[in-house]
Structure 1
Amino acid sequence: MSQAQPAAPATALSKIHKMRFCIAFFIFSFCWMLALQVVAAVLLPQRLTDIAPDSKEAIFGVLNSATALASLISNLIVGNLSDRTRSIFGRRTPWIASGGIIAGISLFLIGILPDGTTIGISYCVSMVGLNMMIAPIIASLSDRVPEDMRGTMSAFISAGTLFGSALGQIVGAQFITMQLPGFIVSGVVMGISGIAAVICWPKEQSSKDMPAVQADFGSLIASFRPPIKGARDFWLAFVGRSLLLFSYYMILNYQLYILQDYIGQSTKDSAVTISTMSIVLMVVSLISALSAGPISDKIGRRKVPVVIASLLLAVGYALPWLMHSPMGMILFSAIGGFGYGMYGSVDQALNVDVLPNEEEAGKDLGILNIATTLGQMVGPIVTSAIVVNTGSYGMVFPTAIVMVVIACIFIMLIKKVK
């Protein structure tokens, strides 16, 4: 069989198709994130408390590590396989629709399985199903969306994720004393996320007539090779993204402990501050996410929003360090959250713009998504190491500032994107 040839560039979209893509990206991101947060942030920790009160922290830590690994591997594999899929429904649609069903069923099962082992297996399967949707959805930015619309679409993805995350925690809290209905709601919402996406956006063209790919095992293994030729900008984006997320999660994942152990608030007062921070973060990040992406498309620039976002994040990190008060953390949520929303709104568009080969978009975007996992995993580990070695959170903030500045430098070195 012949090797696959590069796909034709995405053609201009009509106003109706633009609207359908915007709606599809928002609904998909909102639904999967809401469903996941209902379980991950509220119901799963409570479920572990009920079935294993003496070892809940250890089990929860193992589950988080296992699901992060499952997400990383499945995103890379599914992204590659979707590049190679040939069907009357297109390359991406079969994965998106089936992934939602798998993720929804396995997410619901967490609410009825009896022990940590079976819950962990079901949780990992759910992450595989979720990434069966995410990898092809993001790859479709390259396949089906023209370059001058990618910032806008990326903004709707970011806004849906942010809104779903905030609302998911609120919804989950309503089911904490009656968990099974909560798991049912979560499973159903996750299940319909992929189906809703493929219904809302314009029908994907058949890929049956695309050039075939070699199907032998050796060719499949070789297809997972990271990009090397002409991939300078790709790897600069990878490092920049890793470091920026690294810096953000150094503080975000430890905000409760920062309020209690660094600023000195009581448990009750810190809970009030966290609630205020969550509301502020949701509002400002939604505003910046929905505005920065379209502006990026209009001015034809990706780096400008990233530079501004990096500066806002650096200021946000500095305020709790300098003010040493609850107001400093609230301002971190306001200023840093605005910057993070701005970065998120152009993040995926920037990633697509630096792809060395758009025909391998699914696989290469899967590699770039490893940066997300690395940032979320390594950031908190570094924070923990700093606190253990210094006995304080004081050095966490300047370290985060240095990381985001270096991240900005790496992204500014990209030549392919203005």
Structure 2
Amino acid sequence: MAWTTPTDEQQKKIPIPTAIALAIGVLLWLGSYLGLVGVLVPQQVAEIAPDQKTSAIALMSTVAMIVSTIANIVEGALSDRTRSRWGRRTPWIIAGSIGSCLCILAWAHCTEVWHVVLADSVYMIFLNMIVAPLIAVIADRTAPKYRGTMSGVYALGTCIGQYGGQAFASLFLPVPDTGFIVMAVMVLFSGPVAALFLREKSTKDMPVEKITMQTFSDNFAFPTKGARDFYLAMIGKMCIITSSFAISGYQLYILTDYIKLSGGKLQGYVTMISMIMMATAIVMCFFAGPVSDKIGRRKLPVIIAGILITIGSLVPMFTSQAFIMLVYAVVVGIGMGMFNSVDQALNIEVLPDPKTAAKDLGLLNIANNGGQVFGPIFASIVINAVGYHAVFPLAAGLAVLGIVLVSFIKKVK
């Protein structure tokens, strides 16, 4: 039996079950995660430490990034080496779903900032048991000619989870305890549903290299050979994700402290922004990935996406009227939809070694984790030093830096 990635000749059509597993799996874990950290946890922290809420969120994000980065790399590498009757990825995805669910249920009862930091850190360990193996499925089971489309499918789940999760979670702002329970149930189902569609074959007979210094380095260390484009993609992606989360990570506080919204109007705008960004991003998911496959280019769509994110991020700097956040949502939603649709295909095509796909994609996921953490940290610094209006040019500058780095990639068009 062969366990290699299918070639263009071997795979005559898009693997639909794999596509469904990716879309639903990421939708459920990401929707739950961002519903928590984007809506429910900021409200929880504001109640626990109202005068230190921005600093508390920055602390939580920093610790979570460190834990998440280590967990993603280690768990991705262990997934690559897992041999079981259920395959390499499924055991990790199922265990991660159960552990993440239990962490969220405990998180709801936090009464101190350090409780929140601890809950988030343990949660990150379990969540990355889902994240690293699930994303490796694209490299495992998709021929090169369909990777743009499959990246778009993954992005579709990402977009619905990212924006729909926050909009859905905002419905529970008046009843946060119920919100935590709902988020826990969502992540609990992410693994089993993905596994149901993946139906991984047994890997008990799949060859596994003995652990030597060389194999340990290959499976657990950062790649060093032929990895220039890999690192350009990683850092460029981190800049663009950081740009996005510099604003979205403080969206609730931007609306309350910069736009001056409160009560029902605040809840309405949180929902509208999330729904607009979700709708625009979903539209791009259906077009950007397949178009990227058709024209055989990955860098160009990513660069165009970065330009849109730059423009959209600058818009709220010019006025604090509420409508401007809706304009921001449209432009950045289109940009992030295009970026997410093609980015995974770009990442897979710069991998130094397909045999360590989960580990190397886990390393690339440092860009996601780092962006989600550095965004709020950088935003906290400029907000405390200058004010909320300064976060918008910060986000734009980071997006421009990401564009420049991606443009230097040579291996991929």
Offset at residue 355 of structure 1 (A) = 0.1
For 2:108 and 2:257, locate their aligned partners in 1 and report how far apart those are by CA, in whole Å.
Answer: 34
Name 2:374's counterpart in structure 1.
378
1:226 to 222, 228, 234: 222
SS in 1 for 2:26: helix
2:189 to 189, 192, 198: 192
**1:69-218 equivalence runs, <5 A:** 69-112=66-109, 120-176=117-173, 178-201=175-198, 203-215=199-211
Offset at residue 399 of structure 1 (A) = 4.0
Contact map agreement 1:10 1:142 (CA 8 A) in 2: no
Specify whether residues 189 and 305 from structure 1 end up closer, same or farther in structure 2 by C-alpha distance, changes over 3 A only. same
SS in 1 for 2:83: coil
> Aligned pair 1:417/2:412, yes or no?
yes
Name 1:407's counterpart in structure 2.
402
1:308 to 268, 283, 304: 304
Specify whether residues 38 and 409 from structure 1 end up closer, same or farther in structure 2 by C-alpha distance, changes over 3 A only. closer
Instruction: Return the letter of the residue paired with 2:239.
Output: L
Offset at residue 114 of structure 1 (A) = 7.0
1:296 to 276, 292, 297: 292
**1:292-371 equivalence runs, <5 A:** 292-322=288-318, 325-371=321-367
Q: Percent identity between the aligned chains? A: 36
Contact map agreement 1:7 1:359 (CA 8 A) in 2: no
Name 1:22's counterpart in structure 2.
19
TM-score, length of structure 1 as denominator length: 0.86
For 1:346 and 1:14, locate their aligned partners in 2 and report how far apart those are by CA, in whole Å.
Answer: 21
For 2:173 and 2:328, locate their aligned partners in 1 and report how far apart those are by CA, in whole Å.
Answer: 29
- Number of residue pairs aligned between Structure 1 and Structure 2: 408
Contact map agreement 2:65 2:369 (CA 8 A) in 1: yes
Contact map agreement 1:288 1:342 (CA 8 A) in 2: yes
For 1:209 and 1:335, locate their aligned partners in 2 and report how far apart those are by CA, in whole Å.
Answer: 49
Contact map agreement 2:58 2:373 (CA 8 A) in 1: no
1:222-267 deviation per Cα after TM superposition (whole angstroms, max 9, x unaligned): 63221111111101101211121222223333445555666x6454
Contact map agreement 1:313 1:339 (CA 8 A) in 2: yes
Report the aligned-residue RMSD: 3.1
SS in 2 for 1:223: helix
TM-score, length of structure 2 as denominator length: 0.87
Contact map agreement 1:159 1:289 (CA 8 A) in 2: yes
Offset at residue 351 of structure 1 (A) = 0.6
For 1:24 and 1:32, locate their aligned partners in 2 and report how far apart those are by CA, in whole Å.
Answer: 12
For 1:222 and 1:361, locate their aligned partners in 2 and report how far apart those are by CA, in whole Å.
Answer: 11
Specify whether residues 206 and 271 from structure 1 end up closer, same or farther in structure 2 by C-alpha distance, changes over 3 A only. closer
Structure 1: gaps of 5 or more residues: 1-5
SS in 1 for 2:15: helix
Structure 2: gaps of 5 or more residues: none
Offset at residue 19 of structure 1 (A) = 1.8
Contact map agreement 2:148 2:345 (CA 8 A) in 1: yes
1:35 to 29, 32, 41: 32
Offset at residue 101 of structure 1 (A) = 1.6
For 2:401 and 2:141, locate their aligned partners in 1 and report how far apart those are by CA, in whole Å.
Answer: 33
Contact map agreement 1:95 1:133 (CA 8 A) in 2: yes
For 1:382 and 1:41, locate their aligned partners in 2 and report how far apart those are by CA, in whole Å.
Answer: 16
Name 1:66's counterpart in structure 2.
63
Specify whether residues 351 and 42 from structure 1 end up closer, same or farther in structure 2 by C-alpha distance, changes over 3 A only. same
For 1:31 and 1:18, locate their aligned partners in 2 and report how far apart those are by CA, in whole Å.
Answer: 20
Specify whether residues 216 and 101 from structure 1 end up closer, same or farther in structure 2 by C-alpha distance, changes over 3 A only. farther
Name 1:239's counterpart in structure 2.
235
